[in-house]
Each structure stands twice: as C-alpha cells, then as structure tokens.
Amino acid sequence: MIYLSHFGLREPPFGITPDTSFFFACASSQEALNTLLVAVANGEGFIKITGEVGTGKTLLCRKLLATLPESCVTAYIPNPDLEPRTLLFALCDELHVEVNADLDQHRLHKALNHALLGFARDRKRVVICLDETQAMPLETLETLRLLTNLETEKRKLAQVILFGQPELDRKLAHESVRQLRQRITFQHHLGTLTREELAHYLAHRLKVAGYSGDSVFSSPAVRAIHRATRGVPRLVNIVAHKAMMLAFGEGVRQVRARHARVAIADTPAASSFSARHWAWLAMACLLAGSGIGWLMLK
C-alpha cells in the first residue's frame, strides 16, 4: 500500500477483512467475548450474539475460536443459508466425521450424534459457530435444535453459537422455533464505538500495524469520523484508510478534519448519515428559532 512507508507501517492498519491480531477490546466486544467464554465453560446449549452490519461479529467469532482451549473441538459455518441436510454435511466436514454422500437426514443425524458421544468420551467440548444466521431457514434452525438434544447428565454434547444481525431476533420470534428460542441461555448485542473508544481504536490498529509516534488522527478528525460512521468499525476502517491516503497525498503525517471530511464524502454509507445528521441539526435550529420568535411575539 502506497502510504505504508510514509507512516512507518509494516502492514495496512485499516483493512476490512477480519483479522484477530487487530481485535480491539472495547467495552461491548470484551463483554461479548467474556459472555461467550463463560457460556462455553458452563456447557450451555445455545448462545446468541447480535449486532448491526459492520460491528465486528465475524471478528469476534474468529477471536473466540482462537481463544478457546485445545480441549474444544470447533466447527465454523460462515454462510448458514443452507437447507437442513446440506448443513449437516457441512458440520460433518468441519468435525471430520466421514459420511457417505448419499446418506439421508436421519442417518446424518445419527452419524453426528455418534461423533459427539465420541468427543464426550474423550472429554472434548464441541463448539459450533454459525455466522450470518439471520439468513438461516427456519427448518434449518430446527435441525440445529434437534442436534443439541443429545446430552449427558451434566451438559450438552454440542454448544451452538448464533451470530447474526438484529433480523435474527425476528426470525427467532417465529412460533415454529419457540423451543430453540427458550434454549438460548446467554446472549449479547454488540454495540458501536463511543467517541473516546474510537480514538483508542484508531491508535490501537496503527500500533498493531507497526506505527510509533505522535497521534496520526487529530481530535477534530476523530470527531468527524465518529459523527459520520456512528462508531461502526467497518465504516471507520474505510474512512480512516481513505483519510490516510489523502494525508499521504499532501505529504503530511497527521490526518486533519479536512481529510476526514473528504473521505466521508467519498464513502456513501458514511456520507448519507452525515448529510442526515446535518439536515436534522439544521431543522432543529430552525424549529428552535421559530419557537424563540413565537415567544417574542407573545
């Protein structure tokens, strides 16, 4: 990347591909990770993590998988928009369970249950992580519930963690999956970065990427980025990357508010919110002015 040497970086600091080395423990993400680790340690059945687009659900999922002890056997399904039988095949593949391609759903369930019993005998915990589960068909969610029916007197033989957008809650409200809904024992909603956290987030990613020196992002730039992105990490990364390119283009080593504003204008998801923000502020001022004028006329 063209600005790496200019800022003394060894790798890009604001990529949008989830990379656990850049995981930032803000209040919301650290609380979510703690919730997941406690739930896994307790052997609970279903755990749910929701968050808006770009808030770091996939990164959190990968951080969890990297944090779990070796006594855990994990399965990660990044795209669960699958019909039940296909999902069972995917789980067999992730858990290294050898099955014939012509098995029906019933026999696939039996093969997986047999494998789960084997993991339990070896004192292994099985943790299944499913990303983007708001896209999962209702009948596939029910298949997951049936898979977790197998248990010992102490705990479930498989724990399922559902990561999804808020639409997942609406899907789980459906009457046909009420039994699964009742089995969700731990849940957490990922929030966005506060303005104070955003400044630390930017500095953290720069440090991980190899930067050492004074603050790259000025306080006005941080305020502008937070206002436009609402603290959504993915949008922050996109805007911060563009702003650093603009600073590099001017040959300076600090991102100013003007760089941030141009980067925001070039990022539709951020600029549209920023425009709405200023329109709302202008309307509020107009209404306030009208109110003051009315009071003066009384």
- How confident is the model over 64-92, as pLDDT tens digits? 999 999 999 999 999 888 999 999 999 99
- Asked whether the beta carbons of 161 and 153 are under 8 A apart, the reply is no
pLDDT of residue 151: 67
How far is residue 64's CA from residue 170's CA, in Å, rounded to a whole number?
Answer: 25
pLDDT of residue 2: 84
- How confident is the model over 144-168, as pLDDT tens digits? 888 877 766 567 789 999 999 999 9
Domains 24-190 and 194-292 alike in fold: no
The percentage of residues in the chain with a pLDDT greater than 70, rounded to a whole number, is 90
DSSP 49: E
- Res 278 pLDDT > 90: no
pLDDT of residue 233: 97
Over residues 271-279, the mean pLDDT reads 51
- Res 1 pLDDT > 90: no
- Res 53 pLDDT > 90: yes
- How confident is the model over 164-186, as pLDDT tens digits? 999 999 999 999 999 999 999 89
At a CB cut-off of 8 Å and minimum separation 6, what does 216 contact?
7, 202, 203, 206, 244, 247, 253, 254, 255
Give domain limits for the chain: 24-190, 194-292
- Res 291 pLDDT > 60: no
What pLDDT band is residue 287 in, cutting at 50, 70 and 90? Answer: very low
The Cα-based distances of 120 to 123, 143, 236 in angstroms read 5, 21, 43
CATH class of the domain defined by 194-292: mainly alpha
pLDDT of residue 225: 97
How far is residue 155's CA from residue 185's CA, in Å, rounded to a whole number?
Answer: 13
In angstroms, how far is CA 83 from the centroid of its own chain?
A: 24
Q: From start to end of the chain, where are the E strands?
A: 46-51, 72-77, 125-130, 159-164, 184-190
Higher per-residue confidence, 226 vs 109? 226
Higher per-residue confidence, 277 vs 112? 112
At a CB cut-off of 8 Å and minimum separation 6, what does 258 contact?
none
pLDDT of residue 146: 85
pLDDT of residue 191: 95
Query: What sections of 46-173 are H helices per DSSP?
Result: 57-67, 84-94, 105-121, 138-147, 167-172
In degrees, to the nearest 5, what angle opens at C-alpha 14 toward C-alphas 61 and 132?
Answer: 30
pLDDT of residue 273: 55
At 283, the amino acid letter reads M
Q: Is CATH 3.40.50.300 the right assignment for the domain spanning 24-190?
A: yes
